[in-house]
């Protein structure tokens, strides 16, 4: 049974529109999920077809259950950092081959951009990376030593191939998938440039990753990290406050990850609480599109 044709089109469109108004998702994706869920309820579909012209079918218990399940699936799909792991693997393999054959910088940059688009946290930033680094380097001198905590795929965006490249870039995330992709990239660079490490913040000993000759990293990235840790394990904020870094860039989202909801005021409160706990000073304000934050120093 092809429910795209048999379900009342106006009812289907109304539900798609309602869900898309609330969630950050493409209409065609919502429609596919709706049709799949309705297809599991053939008796409900038949009931809708027979009675939708003279009854409010949205009041049917089974109908409400289908909509509830659809919203649940939409929500959890948007919560996944890796949106399409098969595509990620293909792009990672492609990037590895391009680096191995010393392809043009344009080809490599295109492959990197496509890989960044597969991860939720970097996907939102892809269009604004030029502005991101222009603003960052207007606030600080290019750092020699960088640590990126909860990095995801963000290190792929760093301008390693120009004069601003650091001597060392330690990238830490508990997501092994992201770390493996970074290793693909780092294996074709000088080892001291990018060091991907799979580790949980709770288990970290900061000094074990710091160059023996250095007393602190020049810059620590904590991009969209503080609000996540605040929600999941607030006790770890004290550990993040102990990171030996001369400057820290902390950021948060202005909009919810799944819903079209402005959360800037709430997230700013969390960032400022961390700044207080860490006993840091705000050296500069940072803002691109849907992300904001502060450059901190001791």
Q: Is the pLDDT of residue 230 over 80?
A: yes
Q: How far is residue 269 from each of residues 49, 156, 272, 290, measured CA to CA in Å?
A: 50, 30, 5, 17
Q: Indicate if 205 and 292 belong to the same structural domain.
A: yes
Please give the residue range of the domain that contains residue 29: 3-78
Q: Say how many domains are in the chain.
A: 2
Element at 72 (helix H, strand E)? helix 61-78
Q: Give the pLDDT confidence score for residue 2 in this predicted structure.
A: 42
CATH number for the domain harbouring residue 259 = 3.40.50.150
Residue position matching structure tokens 């650091």: 166
Angle between helices 225-232 and 264-278 (to 10 degrees): 80
Q: Indicate if 142 and 55 belong to the same structural domain.
A: no
* 102 occurs within a structural domain: no
Q: Indicate if 55 and 132 belong to the same structural domain.
A: no
CA nearest neighbour of 39 among 13, 94, 1: 1
Q: Is the pTM of this model over 0.85?
A: no
Q: Give the pLDDT confidence score for residue 56 in this predicted structure.
A: 92
Q: Is the pLDDT of residue 5 over 70?
A: no
* 52 occurs within a structural domain: yes
* 89 occurs within a structural domain: no
User: Hey, CA dihedral for 235, 241, 243, 248, is it positive or negative?
Assistant: positive
The residue from 61, 78, 95 where one domain ends is 78
CA–CA gap between residue 12 and residue 57 (Å, rounded): 12
Three-state DSSP class for residue 84: coil
Element at 110 (helix H, strand E)? helix 105-116
The residue from 62, 78, 94 where one domain ends is 78
Q: Indicate if 140 and 201 belong to the same structural domain.
A: yes
Q: Indicate if 254 and 185 belong to the same structural domain.
A: yes
Q: Is the pLDDT of residue 1 over 60?
A: no
CA–CA gap between residue 144 and residue 114 (Å, rounded): 27
Q: Indicate if 71 and 133 belong to the same structural domain.
A: no
Q: Indicate if 50 and 188 belong to the same structural domain.
A: no
Q: Give the pLDDT confidence score for residue 72 in this predicted structure.
A: 87
Q: Give the pLDDT confidence score for residue 82 in this predicted structure.
A: 54
Minimum mean pLDDT range among 25-34, 62-71, 178-187: 178-187
Q: Indicate if 58 and 147 belong to the same structural domain.
A: no
Pairing of strands 145-149, 168-173: parallel
Q: What does the mean pLDDT of the chain come to?
A: 86
- Residue 4 pLDDT level (bands cut at 50, 70, 90): very low
Over residues 96-150, the pLDDT tens digits come to 777 777 777 778 778 777 877 776 667 778 888 889 999 999 999 999 999 999 9
* 86 occurs within a structural domain: no
Q: Indicate if 161 and 53 belong to the same structural domain.
A: no
* 116 occurs within a structural domain: no
Over residues 12-45, the pLDDT tens digits come to 999 999 988 888 788 998 899 999 999 999 899 9
* 231 occurs within a structural domain: yes
* 168 occurs within a structural domain: yes
- Residue 196 pLDDT level (bands cut at 50, 70, 90): very high
The residue from 78, 95, 115 where one domain ends is 78
Q: Indicate if 56 and 191 belong to the same structural domain.
A: no
Q: Indicate if 182 and 37 belong to the same structural domain.
A: no
Locate 105 and state its tokens: 């910088």
């Amino acid at each position: 049974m092809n429910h795209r044709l048999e379900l009342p089109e106006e009812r289907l469109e109304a539900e798609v529109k309602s869900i898309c108004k609330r969630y950050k998702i493409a209409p065609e994706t919502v429609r596919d999920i709706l049709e799949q869920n309705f297809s599991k309820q053939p008796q409900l579909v038949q009931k809708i077809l027979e009675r939708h012209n003279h009854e409010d079918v949205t009041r049917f218990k089974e109908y409400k259950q289908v909509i509830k399940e659809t919203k649940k699936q939409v929500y959890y799909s948007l919560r996944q950092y890796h949106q399409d792991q098969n595509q990620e693997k293909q792009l990672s393999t492609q990037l590895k081959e391009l680096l191995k054959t010393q392809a043009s910088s344009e080809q490599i940059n295109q492959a990197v951009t496509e890989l960044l688009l597969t991860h939720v946290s970097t996907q939102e930033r892809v269009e604004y990376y030029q502005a991101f680094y222009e603003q960052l380097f207007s606030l600080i001198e290019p750092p020699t030593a960088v640590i990126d905590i909860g990095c995801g795929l963000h290190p792929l965006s760093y301008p390693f191939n120009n004069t601003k490249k650091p001597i060392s870039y330690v990238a830490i995330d508990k997501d092994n998938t992201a770390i493996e992709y970074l290793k693909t990239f780092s294996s074709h660079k000088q080892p001291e440039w990018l060091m991907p490490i799979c580790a949980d913040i709770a288990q970290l000993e900061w000094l074990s990753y710091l160059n023996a000759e250095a007393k602190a990293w020049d810059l620590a990235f904590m991009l969209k990290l503080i609000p996540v840790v605040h929600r999941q394990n607030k006790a770890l904020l004290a550990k993040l406050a102990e990171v030996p870094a001369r400057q820290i860039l902390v950021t948060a989202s202005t909009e919810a990850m799944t819903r079209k909801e402005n959360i800037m005021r709430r997230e700013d409160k969390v960032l400022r609480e961390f700044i207080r706990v860490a006993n840091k000073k705000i050296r500069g304000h940072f803002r691109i599109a849907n992300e904001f934050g502060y450059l901190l120093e001791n």
